[in-house]
Structure 1
């Protein structure tokens, strides 16, 4: 059965969404527009005397006109410090050194391919899904590398290649926030959660693992869900494939397998090295006063750099053994190429940092948060209905803006303080956003991976179109929404912490 592009009301709706989304400006331009909008809003709010009473201390917060003389001086003199002092910028760039080397040397791609090659046939589909979910830690490698490999693997199992394409794509993106290995998604989310929380609580710090317990459990749970959708919906709907099998999926070379083996050994040895300083009661990475591993400990303060090393070491070893890293010039080029991919993020952060600073200086953030929280209290909207509403909102915005960091940079300054005023910890607000951003990822036309997936699909069926993919991916998005939400509700009702120092509710003062 050859999959054909479908037409109908729903696909026409998706085409409208795509056209509208394509008309949105680049995220960098969007932030410039928001900066200007905040300045104008601060002018009118300041002139109107807009204010709100802070329920935490009873003080009155007044809107500040940033277009006044003193406001303009502040904008001009603190622009560079807004950017350079943006707390998570260095953290994200440092993590990228390790992840970038592991990706550029070929370690991530080989690890994915090998995991699929060695899996028993009965476990092949779950293995692909697991690699897709865990592969999120490799950034772009998951949705770019895995789908074409999965397509060729499932063909050998007698399935339509589109099964592999859409299943791997849904696993890599629909379960984007689930993982047992902390990585870039945590760092990028925290990059905007912390400054947003500091609007109300300047002492708030947060940490990379504040959602970890939830996302680790979600890894296994969503694996089962995606496998179920594949078996019950995707495979029966797509049927069999009658086209020519692609034979470009050559098995890994012995040298690549050897390099992968030594790289895996090296990361285990590196992990053991750090465990030596953590596990003993007098370990130097524990809190020297309390002996805690997570509470104000050197281990938590250095977790970002430790993760960087745990990515860097296997990437380096793989490159040396496999021959992808032969000279010091290769080493420098890989690191430069990896950091080069962060160029757009660095520019984005510059304007996002200015926007957050304007939002903070103008007091519009806390005023909107206080009034929004008061409105929600008046409407008696809290708990599970509030959580579901925010997840849906984040999912809808994802249909228009593909960049996860761009969306959270816009939403965090409003919703993190608002939820804090309702008694919820920033770790929960961040998790709600990550869920909303994840479940809708497979069907949003705003991600650059969807056109690439279409190109892969057209190798098997030249008549395949966007509607073909959306129709195959939509069941995953719908079921993942309910799966993510159900897990969250159960977690909330049980009152389990979301991660390390990641409570659901703010601690009572």
Structure 2
């Protein structure tokens, strides 16, 4: 391909993304978009409830066959639900507590100057060529800590890029691509693996198939390879597409470029010691044989499962608060408890816009779940693919695509898999394809479109993060920025799957491609 043709293609891509951004940002404020979408769901639910047919499917989570029909919001019961649940929809919105609790600690570290000085130290002598790859990799690896990457790595990605003189939204995008687009990739198995593996095994049991996947390691080898692939793809897209499309940063955010002083170095040393002591204490509380943070699971085993769901955010709060407080004390920024509270208050003040957005986003997500529209779409989509008659690799690729499409309308990975696994896992087994292969194909499609769907729980929060650096940013900006990652991850990841399929490589220990 000639350089002229390549340049023309680049201009067309940039023009397309700018068009997506213009259309998206021409829409009302993101909060009002969620209001409009909620109204649409109300009327669509009434139409589907009246004229649509219920769907019947086996729910692998419930362990039984379930019939679901659309539930109308445009009747007395629906109206009562909308009013009665409005407050609990908001207070129970998954990202809300997570973000606010973590931000108390992050706010102290940021207000005291610890984050800014740490980033400066990090960038001194660092190889700028590895910065993007490091941010994407950190995002992918953060999935070990469940949702922590959303509230820690994504804003840090923007800060790191800004401190390096690069566009902060490009850093935010690179981190977001790693955290959410690479949700199923990692070098170490995390909480998602046993969750999906358990649903897969329940689907096998319900179909009378005498086979069980390993809960933690069913897809481990493939996920390790996926980590390196996504880091490479994420780096290329960030540097060759996203940053070029964003252009030169002209926003009001100006990073501190003054050299690190001796007093700041002294504060960093003390903060580092405090952080080390904290990590050691938490390690003893979590990982010793009878650690206090372990609790009995349903099988009577001592695990960290309960702690990872409830205790992780307070852990992260203290992870930032303790070194932030020590650093502030050492540099004189934090003199007493009033300064400490001021730091936390400033952090909460910055979240005002997010709280407004979260209220309306929570209503939309709640309405969508209540009406069962996502479930109906998932079941019908799965049955359509089953009826197409594909086999082998074409079936796997079609399954990846439909998983990616359905993810735009139903955010929960486990909820979708509970619906789709009982249909596709036994079907694939009959065609000689392993349950591990079906599960990994689902994970590719589900992860790739996380970063472009407003139904993803943290999407509204990422919009607010972007607006810190560009007040004009909206849904259109974020979707147009993330679209190249989504398309590239979907194509590249599927390509890796094709290679894996033809080479017959194991997906994990004892987990082959074929039965």
**Please, what TM-score do these two structures have when normalized by structure 2?**
0.63
| CA drift at 1:273 | 0.5
Pick closer, same or farther for the CA change 1:9–1:225 going to 2, 3 Å: closer
Note the aligned Cα RMSD (angstroms).
5.2
Of 284-293 and 84-93, deviating more is 284-293
Aligned residue for 2:90? Answer: 83
Cα distance change of structure 1 residues 494 and 6 upon mapping to structure 2, 3 Å threshold = closer
Aligned CA distance change for structure 1 residues 411 and 106 (closer, same or farther; 3 Å): farther
Distance between the aligned counterparts of 1:74 and 1:18, measured in 2?
35
Q: Once the 2 structures are TM-superposed, how far is the Cα of residue 114 of structure 1 from its aligned partner?
A: 0.8
Which among 128, 134, 149 is matched to residue 130 of structure 1?
A: 134
Structure 1 unmatched ranges of 5 or more: 152-161, 202-208, 238-246, 395-407, 441-445, 456-469, 498-502, 504-509
CA contact (8 A) 2:271 2:326 kept: yes
**Residue 124 of structure 2 is aligned to residue 117 of structure 1:** yes
Residue 77 (structure 2) aligns with: 70
Aligned to 1:46: 49
Q: Distance in 1 between matches of 2:34 and 2:84?
A: 20
Other-structure match for 1:21 = 24
Partner of 1:97: 104
SS in 2 for 1:304: helix
- Decide which of 146, 152, 159 is 1:145's aligned counterpart: 159
Q: Give the deviation of 1:305 after TM superposition.
A: 1.9
Q: For residues 20 and 96 of structure 1, do their structure 2 counterparts lie closer, same or farther at Cα, with a shift above 3 Å needed?
A: same
Distance 1:448 1:124, change over 3 A: closer
Q: Displacement of 1:249 after TM fit?
A: 3.8
Aligned with residue 253 of structure 1, among 261, 285, 290: 261
**Preserved CA contact (<8 Å) 1:132 1:146:** no
Change (3 A) 1:481 1:142: farther
Task: Tell me by how many angstroms 1:217 deviates.
Answer: 7.7
1:337 maps to 2:346? yes
Q: How far does the alpha carbon of each residue in 1:230-278 deviate from its partner, in whole angstroms, 9 at most, with x for none?
A: 99x89xx9xxxxxxxxx98432111222222222221221111012123
Contact map agreement 1:49 1:63 (CA 8 A) in 2:
yes
- Aligned with 1:281 (options 277, 286, 289): 289
CA distance in 2 between partners of 1:359 and 1:480 (Å): 27
**Equivalent-residue separation in structure 1 for 2:464 and 2:92 (angstroms):** 30
Q: Does structure 1 residue 367 correspond to structure 2 residue 366?
A: no
What pairs up with 1:281-320 in 2 under 5 angstroms? 281-288=289-296, 292=301, 294=303, 296-298=305-307, 301-320=310-329
Q: Deviations over 1:151-188 (max 9, x none)?
A: 4xxxxxxxxxx7x98986774454354699x9xxx99x
How many residue pairs align between the two structures? 415
Deviations along 1:41-89, one digit per CA (max 9) or x if unpaired, are 1222222253122334444323333222232223222322332334553
Offset at 1:216? 8.6
Question: Aligned partners of 1:312, 1:263: CA distance in 2, in Å?
Answer: 10
Mapped to 2, the partners of 1:248 and 1:304 lie a distance apart of: 29
Secondary structure in structure 2 of the residue aligned to 1:412? coil
**Counterpart position of 2:275:** 267
Conserved 8 A contact 2:155-2:465? no
Counterpart of 2:37 (choices 34, 39, 43) is 34
Query: How far, CA to CA, are the matches of 1:482 and 1:426 in structure 2?
Result: 18
Relative to structure 1, the CA distance from residue 428 to residue 322 in structure 2 (aligned partners, 3 Å threshold; closer, same or farther) is farther
Spell out, residue by residue over 1:263-316, the C-alpha distance to the aligned partner (whole angstroms, 9 max, x if none): 222122111101212333222222347785646454654222222222222222
* Kept in 2: contact 1:82–1:357 (CA 8 A): yes
CA distance in 1, matches of 2:484, 2:37: 35
Select between 6-15 and 85-94 the one with higher mean Cα deviation.
Answer: 6-15
What TM-score do the two structures reach when normalised by structure 1?
A: 0.63
Contact 1:282–1:291 (CA under 8 A) maintained in structure 2? no
In the TM superposition, what is the alpha-carbon distance from 1:325 to its structure 2 partner? 2.3
SS at match of 1:284: coil
State the Cα distance separating 1:225 from its structure 2 match: 5.8
- Aligned pair in 2 of structure 1 residues 488, 436: CA closer, same or farther (>3 Å)? farther
Distance change >3 Å, CA 383–CA 97, structure 1 → 2:
farther
Q: Any conservation in 2 of the 1:113–1:149 contact (CA below 8 Å)?
A: yes
Mapped contact 2:399–2:441 kept (Cα < 8 A): no
